[in-house]
Amino acid sequence: MQIKPYRIGYRTLKTALGMTLAVILSRLIGLDNYASSAILVVLCIKDTRVKSFEAAIYRFIACFIAIMIGSVFFTYLGSTPIVLGVMVLLFIPVTVMIGVQEGIVTSCVIILHLYMAKVIDFNLIINEILLLIIGIGIALIMNMFMPSLDHKLNQYKRKIEDDFILITFVFSEGLNNPNKKLNTPSFDQVSQNIKKAKSLAFREVKNHFVRNENSYYHYFDMRQEQLTLLKRMKNLIESMQHSQHAHHLCSQLLLDVSQNVQSNDYSLMRLHSLYEIKIKLQSIELPKTQGELESIAALFQLLNEVEEYLQIKSQFGSLKK
């Protein structure tokens, strides 16, 4: 068991403040079971604005159904544990059927209020509805304050670009020194960083009601495609045994790619250089040994992978923040 460092997160701060406000407001109004409004706040605080809004709707609908069913059951059948169990047995399938099962836990708070009440009348129903409005409403207000994720997204972007710079630089060195081991950053670690960045970018989308996409997400998706090509390039370079003039040309190309990973307009220029290399390779001397043949074949395949790598970036364009 490992004890993590003590820290107060943004969501924790919002939850504590929301609970405090809900209890104070419910008590000032004079509601019964006023502390329950704090429970509603806790259940409705979410990671994103969209999730919070959806949760509020589902919970309100589910609680309204619970009030109607509970009022009928406990009024005409009595407030007994058996009636409570039968009522829940009917209530849960109803919420699942209409797709508001997320509000089951919240509804149980209201159901228990009805169960414990001596008399179920209009005043009690209004009391429960006001508790819902205060608890869910304050949670929604708290969730309107979401920190921007742009700083974290930029950190991931810089880290991934640094890894791409190092990888392509090592590839360039490897083409000049065929027997040298390619000490690239861990592809698995780079892949994990891209997945985390995509998840964060998707979360940022969910913080906006009118925006359904995020250019950061498409950017990291583009890098994920390029990473797959880089893995294939590494295998090809490691299979090469001979260093020829053609290999040096490709080395210079990859060096240019490495130096311009962060640039938004380098792809077309590098593609032009790549096509020039392909034209030059058409006039090279034919391989004399099987090793040279395999090496030059791997080189042609490498150029195809680099071409696809550059085309993916060219099609993406620039990152629009």
Q: What is the pLDDT of residues 124-145, one digit of tens each?
A: 999 999 999 999 899 888 877 7
Cβ contacts of residue 84 below 8 Å, gap of 6+?
Answer: 111, 115
Same domain, 181 and 239: yes
Same domain, 87 and 187: no
In this prediction the pTM is: 0.66
Identify the CA nearest to 300 among candidates 284, 289, 313, 315: 284
Same domain, 122 and 59: yes
Highest-pLDDT range among 47-56, 59-68, 270-279: 59-68
Same domain, 14 and 130: yes
Q: Is residue 112 part of a domain?
A: yes
CA 287 distance to own-chain centroid? 49
Residue where a domain stops, chosen among 120, 143, 166: 143
Q: Is residue 158 part of a domain?
A: yes
Same domain, 44 and 121: yes
| Total domains, the chain | 2
Residue where a domain stops, chosen among 122, 143, 164: 143
Query: Residue 161 sits in which domain range?
Result: 150-316
End-to-end Cα, the chain, rounded Å:
41
Same domain, 251 and 226: yes
What CATH number does residue 171 fall under? 1.20.120.940
Residue 314 CB burial class (10 angstroms; 0-12, 13-18, ≥19): middle
**Any alpha helices (H) in 240-264, and if so which ranges?**
245-259
**pLDDT given for residue 212 in this prediction:** 47
Q: Is residue 160 part of a domain?
A: yes
Task: Note every long-range contact of 198-202, with CB atoms under 8 Å and residues 24 or more positions apart, other chains counting.
Answer: 198/224, 200/149, 200/152, 200/153, 200/156, 201/149, 201/153
**Six-digit token pair at 252?**
């210079």
Same domain, 246 and 110: no
Pick the more confident residue, 219 or 288.
219
Residues of the chain above pLDDT 70, percent: 86
Q: Is residue 208 part of a domain?
A: yes
Is it the case that residue 211 has pLDDT exceeding 60? no
Residue where a domain stops, chosen among 85, 108, 143: 143
Same domain, 302 and 193: yes
Same domain, 135 and 169: no
